[in-house]
Amino acid sequence: MKFMAAKPVILASGSPRRKELLGLLGFPFEIILSQVSENLAIGDMDRKQYVEALAKEKTMAVAQLHDSAIVIGSDTIVSLDGRIYPKPEDAEEAKRFLQELSNNTHTVTTGVGIYVNGEVVTFSVETKVTFRKLDMALIDAYVASGDPMDKAGAYGIQTAGALFVDKIEGDYHAVVGLPIAKLAAYLQGLGLISIGGPVH
Domain that holds residue 112: 3-195
Q: CATH code at 140?
A: 3.90.950.10
Per cent of the chain over pLDDT 70 is 94
> Tens digits of per-residue pLDDT, 96-123?
999 999 999 999 999 999 999 999 999 9
> Is 43 a member of any domain?
yes
Residue-level pLDDT at 40: 63
> Is 117 a member of any domain?
yes
Catalytic residues: 75
How many residues in total does the chain contain? 200
Residue-level pLDDT at 82: 86
> Is 99 a member of any domain?
yes
- One-letter amino acid at 197 equals G
Per cent of the chain over pLDDT 90 is 84
pTM for the complete prediction? Answer: 0.90
* Dist CA 152 CA 88 (whole Å): 7
> Is 78 a member of any domain?
yes
Instruction: Give the total number of structural domains in the chain.
Output: 1
Q: Which residues fall within 8 angstroms of residue 69, CB to CB, at 6 or more apart? A: 7, 8, 9, 10, 30, 63, 115
> Tens digits of per-residue pLDDT, 12-57?
998 999 999 999 999 999 999 988 776 666 667 788 998 999 999 9
Judged against a pLDDT cut of 70, whether residue 8 lies above it is answered with yes
The gap between the terminal CA atoms of the chain, to the nearest Å, is: 19
- In terms of DSSP H, where are the helices of 64-192? 91-101, 136-144, 172-176, 180-189
Cα torsion at 179, 34, 71, 148 (round to 10°)? -20
> Is 200 a member of any domain?
no
Residue-level pLDDT at 42: 65
* Dist CA 57 CA 122 (whole Å): 11
> Is 38 a member of any domain?
yes
> Is 140 a member of any domain?
yes
> Is 21 a member of any domain?
yes
